[in-house]
Amino acid sequence: MDELIFFTLTFLLASFSIRGHARRRIGTVQLNNLSAMTKIYTSVSEIDFSIKDLPKMPSPKRVLMVKPTYFDVEYVINPHMKDHVGRVDKMQAQNEWEHLLDAYDEFGFDVNVMNGVKGQPDMVFCANQSLPFIDENENRKVIMSIMHTPQRKGEVDAIEAWYRKEGYEILHLDPEKVTDFEGMGDAIWHFKRRLLWGGYGFRSSMKAYEHVSALLDTPVVALELVDDKYYHLDTCFCSLNEKNVLIFPDAFTDEGLEMIHKLYENVIEATPYEAEKLFAANATCPDGKNVLIQQGCTDVNQKLRDAGFSVHEFSTYEFIKSGGSVFCMKMMLW
């Protein structure tokens, strides 16, 4: 009997300390000479702010796209790629990519294009190699990614060289402390506010956000991803504007969903079919009004229109073969 009480107590203590550890990570991180406050939110009970009280941030007006010259499915690093190795229609991919490029141009964005790199077939997904931002003094900076998969590590240098040429201040995570962080694929800015939504579990680690939060001097709401079909936050979470978000709920934990519902006034949900097969939540809404989305998302599109958005459909079928769609085919920049 004594033994039973002992084991029960030990178990309870252990589970409290695991939960306590996982729940709140607020502290000071030393980054070379810089020491900054980090704030990572992992459950709704910790949320001690409202969106309207957060500092404002201008929305980006530049777009970067990488030419799909070398785009292909050559390996399998997510479940969507499985049946598509060697099956990309290159002409069709080029057409799809150009239509998207023209759309950003028509919406009045400053569109920038860079060449791909031979042997890096996923580089066209240029949301992944970096996380750019503008600081409170209007300095343009970028945190470079540490790609999770060896196949994609070679993309980062080429993207970094582009930022350097454009005059951005380049920041690196310490590879001894952070094993993986896949940029805007997992780290998504709240529309026009200094708040970052950070997905983790498959391509970025929770640990990365302590360092990212310190470099940005910005709080992070950390969302654990639980289904490998939704391996990047941008496959299941689309920040539409300050009050609206489009998500696929099954990709998150209950804690994550509670935080999303607490901080957004309106949460639009994609159906499993549209989320998985049409990458509905990989849409993008660069101006808070116009949503660019893979064609055929009938259910989501109606919900978006009901919420006051204008919907623009694009074919990205060739890129969906690789596990990406509209959102990850570009990088928004200041």
| Minimum CB distance to ligand ARG, residue 303 (Å) | 22
Q: Which is nearer to ligand ARG, 214 or 293 (CB)?
A: 293
Which residue intervals of the chain are DSSP H helices? Answer: 2-23, 90-106, 155-165, 206-216, 254-263, 272-277, 298-306, 317-320
For 262, the token pair is 């607490």
Q: How far is CA 260 from the centre of its chain?
A: 15
230 binds ligand ARG (CB under 6 A): no
Interface with ligand ARG includes 199 (CB under 6 A)?
no
Of 23-31, 123-131, 187-195, 287-295, the segment contacting ligand ARG by CB under 6 A is 123-131
In terms of CB distance, is 214 or 297 closer to ligand ARG? 297
Q: At closest approach, how far in Å is the CB of 184 from ligand ARG?
A: 7
Catalytic (active site) residue 238: no
Place of tokens 């343009």: 140
Known catalytic residue: 236? Answer: no
180 is an interface residue for ligand ARG by CB under 6 A? no
Q: Which of 190, 193, 232, 330 binds ligand ARG (CB under 6 A)?
A: 232
Q: How far apart are CA 71 and CA 68, in angstroms?
A: 5
- Shortest Å distance, C-beta 39 to ligand ARG: 25
**Cα angle value 225/176/167 (rounded, 5°):** 85
Q: DSSP E strands: which ranges in 108-262?
A: 110-114, 130-134, 140-144, 169-171, 187-189, 196-200, 220-224, 237-239, 244-247
CA distances 104 to 57, 283, 326, Å, are: 21, 13, 11
Helix ranges (H only) for 77-154 are 90-106
Between 104 and 231, whose beta carbon lies closer to ligand ARG? 231
Stretch in the footprint of ligand ARG (CB under 6 A) among 82-90, 217-225, 228-236, 238-246: 228-236
The least distance separating ligand ARG from the CB of residue 89, rounded to whole angstroms, comes to 16
Any idea which residues carry the catalytic annotation?
232, 328
